[in-house]
A and B are shown apart, each in its own frame.
Chain A
């Protein structure tokens, strides 16, 4: 494998790692955080929740209209709630990233798109995206040199 190709692939891997790998520049937090969510067709309120890595998170779900559910990607946690009732689940936010909260009970036409977000990332997500996009662009540019070498050969 040529040097530019190897460098390009390495940069691609780094770009991907910057986007999705655990972020090393944070110290795990401790403590408990109660997150109160209200489900209604077809949204969670609040739609985005941010917690610190390492926090114990207590999810409290209520419904404002029909039966709803909440499935948390990555943590495999599920709640179901009838209107006027309350459901709870707790977990340690040990995985860093953005995790979608999805309604798990068919609740109407836009049910598959009833999505909220739980962000577990003390460091700015913008930094990851900026780094990922920059590294991907750089990988493309370095890859060009591989083309040049192939052409010269």
Chain B
């Protein structure tokens, strides 16, 4: 395969694949199917049995979809799910004035620009934390799951009518924040072949849109795109580029996690996303896979005294304790390296690089345990989706049985070990590339590596 201007193998060099991706039909069809399932799930949540593991709203979303997202789609495809996600679809169709509209010069709604002050992950961080506090209820109560999903669609529609493009996906969607930060580790990427071609191209169709497609819905200028978090893989730029300069590549794992022109790979809001997700992996592991019933009760009894303690603990861990420990490690590293250039802020952000593979390893281990323990509920609810006694596929009576219980701990261990090793390597590399001497880099990184190893051990203790 042809090697692209960016690092990686160019998938779109294959004409049949390029044609498939440029055509709107395959992507639209997948999105429509996803939307149909979405509507089905919401209806099941409202009208089906309130018993979570007997209702397809819970089993399809929180067992099947979540496992597919964390185990395959994000690690391999990055934001691939975002390209067919049904949540923004109704709003986008209203904004574009049609189900299959393709003329990017015509859009509807107020088309306001998203406020500059809110162009960060902070709202997504707050949204994810808000959902995380109620996760034990959301994951077990079909009606609550339905309300959450419906609420996200309604919010996406409202935002689409007021603001331009996919402001909801880029700045509000709590799941989008999760996907985006871990997409930085994924090999699938959209890039331009030659940035110079874009620089000298006067009309910038990829950003403004033309008769063939819409300007980047993610408000990213593809000509300078160098990280997966900023691209929703909607492929509009592949359709609009008149110079055939946009391509889809398979790049080396974690290519987006190296220092960017000497700057740390993560911004402060992204680092906090990493802290929040690592904290959530630890707490979810303890609540949902651990033997501590008081913790489970506290997480489930929303509004009770123990729940407030649980919520305070989660917030404290995500927003103060983990960032505080990283700040302390970065500060000690700076002292050991005798105050290197860039100061503590840079050291803190470099240290946060390892959060991505470490957290991703934790989420993969968590999802493996959850999928193989509860996967048989998916099969039974496919036959009896509402818990009304149907047997559509003959699998309704399938007894619950966890699968591969002897193998799963080894798979979880592999995910955690690989995540920690990768985090160590990335963090060391990030310090080495931005510190004057190798010796100073090692001193600067050492406290952070110790902290990462301790957090990796904590994940192993909770998950295994």
Contact = CB atoms under 8 A, between A and B. Distances in A.
B460 A19 contact: yes
A129 B460 contact: yes
B413 A76 contact: no
Contacts of B457: 129-130, 132-133
Contacts of A23: none
A100 B289 contact: yes
Interface stretch (B21-29, B191-199, B399-407): B399-407
Nearest to B62: A112
Contacts of A3: none
Contacts of B425: 140-141, 143-144, 147
B296 A113 contact: yes
Contacts of A106: 51, 53-54, 400
Contacts, number: 145
Given A19-B413, A136-B420, A147-B429, A115 B289 contact: yes
A140 B460 contact: no
Contact of A104 (B50, B141, B400, B424): B400
Contacts of A52: none
Contacts of A113: 136, 140, 287-289, 296
B418 A12 contact: yes
A76 B460 contact: no
A134 interface: yes
Contact of B413 (A16, A109, A112, A141): A16
Interface string B392-436: 000000001110011011100110111011111100110010000
Most buried by B among A15, A95, A133: A133
B224 interface: no
B52 A112 contact: yes
A136 B410 contact: no
Contacts of B400: 104, 106
A12 B405 contact: no
A125 B288 CA distance: 21
B432 to A, nearest CB: 8
B452 A109 contact: no
A38 to B, nearest CB: 11
B225 interface: no
B461 A116 contact: no
B51 A98 contact: no
Given A19-B460, A20-B413, A76-B405, A140 B428 contact: yes
Given A98-B464, A109-B141, A15 B54 contact: no
A76 B428 CA distance: 43
Interface residues of A, number: 48
Interface string A4-29: 00001001100110011000000000
Contacts of A12: 417-418, 421
A110 interface: yes
A143 B253 CA distance: 14
A19 B287 CA distance: 22
Nearest to A104: B400
A19 B54 CA distance: 35
A109 B460 contact: no
B430 to A, nearest CB: 11
Contact of B300 (A8, A48, A110): A110
B127 interface: no
A70 to B, nearest CB: 12
Most buried by A among B53, B420, B449: B420
B265 to A, nearest CB: 16
Contacts of B421: 8, 11-12, 15, 136-137, 139-140, 143
A58 to B, nearest CB: 20
A115 B428 contact: no
Interface string A55-88: 0000000000000000101101000000000000
A102 B402 contact: yes
B303 interface: no
B90 interface: no
A92 interface: no
Contacts of B262: none
Most buried by B among A12, A42, A137, A143: A137
Given A43-B296, A110-B140, A112-B373, 16 more contacts: A16-B410, A16-B417, A98-B464, A99-B405, A106-B53, A106-B54, A114-B296, A115-B290, A117-B290, A129-B460, A136-B416, A136-B456, A139-B421, A140-B424, A141-B449, A144-B425
- 7 closest A-B pairs by CB: A140-B424, A43-B293, A47-B291, A73-B405, A133-B457, A140-B425, A136-B420
